[in-house]
Structure 1
Amino acid sequence: MRSLKKMSYLVFMGVALLLLLVIIFIVRQYQLSEQYDTIITQSEKMVFQLLTIREQLTTSLIKQDWKAIATTANQLEDLNSSIARLQENPLIPGEFRLGMAHQVDVSGIAIASREILSSSDKLTNSLVLQDKMRSLTEYLLQFDRIIGSQMRAKVVAFQTVMIGALGVIICLISFSLILLYKKALIPLLHLKRQTTDNDVISTGFLYDKSTCSEITIFVDSVNSLLDQMKNRSATQELPHTLSDELASIINESNNISNGIINYAQLLKDSYREVEMGNEEMKILQNIIEGAERIAHLNKQI
Structure 2
Amino acid sequence: MYSLKRLIWLAFLVVGMLLTGIVLLGGYQYQLAGRYNNVISQNERILFQFMTIRETITDTLVSGSWERLESIVGDIEKLNSELSRLKENKLISAELKLALVDKIDLTGLAILLRQQNNGADKVARSKKLQERLRSISDYLLQYDRIIVGQARERIVNFQMVVIGALGLIISLASLSLILLYRNTVSPLLRLSQQVLSSDLGANGIDLGQQVVSEVADLAAAIDQLARRSPESGQSEQNGRYAEALLAEAVNETTNRLNGMINYAQLLYDSADQAKLSEEQKDMLQKIIDGGARIAGEWQKLK
TM-score in terms of structure 1 length: 0.70
Q: Counterpart of 2:142? A: 142
- Indicate whether 1:128 and 2:111 are aligned: no
Aligned residue identity for 1:149: G
Q: 1:230 to 1:216 in 2, by over 3 A?
A: farther
TM value normalised by structure 2: 0.70
Residue 254 of structure 1: aligned partner: none
| Distance of aligned partners of 1:61 and 1:199 in 2 relative to their CA distance in 1, 3 Å threshold | same
Residue correspondence of structure 1 range 82-121 to structure 2 within 5 A: 82-121=82-121
Deviation at 1:140, TM superposition (A): 0.9
Secondary structure of the residue aligned to 1:2 is coil
Listed as ranges, the matches of 1:54-73 within 5 Å are 54-73=54-73
Stretch of structure 1 that moved more, 84-93 or 162-171 = 162-171
Cα separation, 1, equivalents of 2:163 and 2:216: 41
**Maintained 8 Å contact 1:71/1:114:** no
Distance 1:170 1:13 in 2: 14
Separation of aligned partners in 2, 1:28 and 1:231: 73
Distance in 1 (alpha carbons) for counterparts of 2:184 and 2:234: 35
C-alpha deviations, 1:159-217, integer Å up to 9, x for none?
23332332233212211222123222332333333343343355444323311112212
Number of equivalenced pairs: 236
TM-superposition CA deviations, 1:232-279 (whole Å, max 9, x none): 25999xxxxxxxxxxxxxxxxxxxxxxxxxxxxxxxxxxxxxxxxxxx
Cα RMSD, aligned residues only: 2.4
**8 A Cα contact 1:201 1:226, kept in partner:** yes
2:266 is matched with which residue?
none
Q: What is the aligned partner in structure 2 of residue 170 from structure 1?
A: 170
CA distance in 1, matches of 2:111, 2:19: 58
Aligned residue in 1 for 2:37: 37
> In the alignment, residue 2 of structure 2 is paired with which amino acid?
R
Structure-2 separation of matches of 1:46 and 1:157: 28
Q: Which segments of 5 or more consecutive residues in structure 1 lack a partner in the other structure?
A: 237-301
Q: Which residue does 1:79 correspond to in 2? A: 79
Displacement, 1:42?
Answer: 1.6
Q: CA–CA distance in 2 between the matches of 1:114 and 1:68?
A: 11
Q: Secondary structure at the match of 2:196?
A: coil
Distance 1:136 1:200, change over 3 A: same
Aligned 8 A contact 1:183 1:212 in 2: yes
1:5 and 2:2 correspond: no
CA distance in 1: counterparts of 2:211 and 2:87, whole angstroms = 63
* CA distance in 2: counterparts of 1:122 and 1:173, whole angstroms: 76
Q: Answer with 53-62 or 198-207: which moved more.
A: 198-207
Corresponding residue number in structure 1 for 2:51: 51
SS in 2 for 1:210: coil
For 1:230 and 1:115, the matched residues in 2 are separated by: 119
Moved more, 190-199 or 214-223: 190-199
CA displacement 1:129-158 (0-9 Å, x = unmatched): 222211111111111112212221222222
- Give the aligned partner of residue 221 of structure 2: 221
1:27 is aligned to 2:27: yes
The C-alpha deviation readout for 1:27-50, integer Å capped at 9, x for no partner, is: 232222222222222221111111
Q: Which residue of 2 aligns with 1:279?
A: none
Distance 1:11 1:120, change over 3 A: same
2:3–2:212 Cα contact (<8 Å) kept: yes
Task: Write the distance in 2 (CA, Å) between the matches of 1:81 and 1:188.
Answer: 74
User: What displacement does 1:96 show?
Assistant: 0.6
Asked whether the 8 Å contact 2:57–2:69 carries over to 1, the reply is yes
> In percent, how many aligned pairs have the same letter?
38
Distance 1:231 1:150, change over 3 A: farther
Query: Which residue is 2:298 aligned to?
Result: none
Report how far residue 53 of structure 1 moved.
0.9
Query: Aligned partners of 1:214, 1:199: CA distance in 2, in Å?
Result: 24
Q: Alpha carbons of 1:223 and 1:73: their partners in 2 closer, same or farther (altered >3 Å)? A: same
